[in-house]
Amino acid sequence: MNTVSTDSADAGTPVRVAERLTRASRRRPDPNTEGPSPSRRGMNGFGNVVDHLRSHAGDSLRAVVVYRGDEHRDLYRREDVAELHGSSLETEVLEGVRSDNRSRKRDAADRYEGQLRATVRVFDERVLVHLPRDETSGTVVDLDPSAASNLVDFVADIRDDVYDE
């Protein structure tokens, strides 16, 4: 059995390594249940998510929308796309993004691919990154194509090769 001594209060009393690790793990935050998620913290508690996204995308960040069930709200929306808030186009886009098939009928695909982390939709005028949290909640990041230029160029090149566009 692997043993270690604890602090001076328990000096001389051996404690199993596994027991110490178990106690230590109780103090660590669980990344699967803590952090900015609509399912854990309602539609609040997103901290510096927008700042973080802006540090990566800069002015190419168009909008950040979180949703849970049929509810959604903006964390951020750039001025030039503000008119989309509450529009029928926004509703249609969010319904389409949320309809991404996240559940599988067979476990074989999940075992092969693992859990779905994101979907990306590349359009001529924008790129949508959908980050599902669970079956009913997630985040949608709306970007100018310049923020994902490598991906946009890759898609354009492949389409040109495949469809002669």
pLDDT tens figures, 44-60 = 456 688 998 998 899 99
| 53 and 108 together in one domain | yes
Instruction: Report d(CA 91, CA 83) in Å as an integer.
Output: 13
147, 58 contact by CB (below 8 A): yes
Residue 143's pLDDT band, with cuts at 50, 70 and 90, is very high
pLDDT at 41: 36
In a domain, residue 35? The reply is no
Q: Is 44 helix (H, G, I), strand (E, B) or coil?
A: coil
Residues 82 and 150 reside in one and the same domain: yes
10-13: Cβ within 8 A, 24+ apart: none
Residues 125 and 47 in one domain: yes
Are residues 21 and 58 both part of a single domain? no
Mean pLDDT over 108-131 rounds to 89
Q: Please report which confidence band the pLDDT of residue 14 belongs to, taking 50, 70 and 90 as the band edges.
A: very low
The HSE-up count of residue 143 (CA atoms within 13 Å, CB side) is 23
Backbone φ and ψ for 57, nearest 5 degrees, come out as -100, -15
13: confidence class by pLDDT, cuts 50, 70, 90: very low
Domain with 14 in it: 1-30
Q: Does 139 lie in the same domain as 66?
A: yes
The CATH number for 85's domain is 3.30.450
At 16, the pLDDT band (50, 70, 90 cuts) reads: very low
Residues 25 and 102 in one domain: no
Residue 11 banded pLDDT, cuts 50, 70, 90: very low
User: What's the pLDDT score for residue 47?
Assistant: 61
Across the range 123-133, mean pLDDT stands at: 93
For residues 128 and 133, give the distance between their C-alpha atoms in angstroms, rounded to a whole number.
16
Angstrom distance (rounded) from CA 94 to CA 89: 9
Is residue 107, in this structure, part of any structural domain at all? yes
Residue 100 — very low, low, confident or very high, per pLDDT cuts 50/70/90? confident
> Which position has the token pair 């979180």?
66
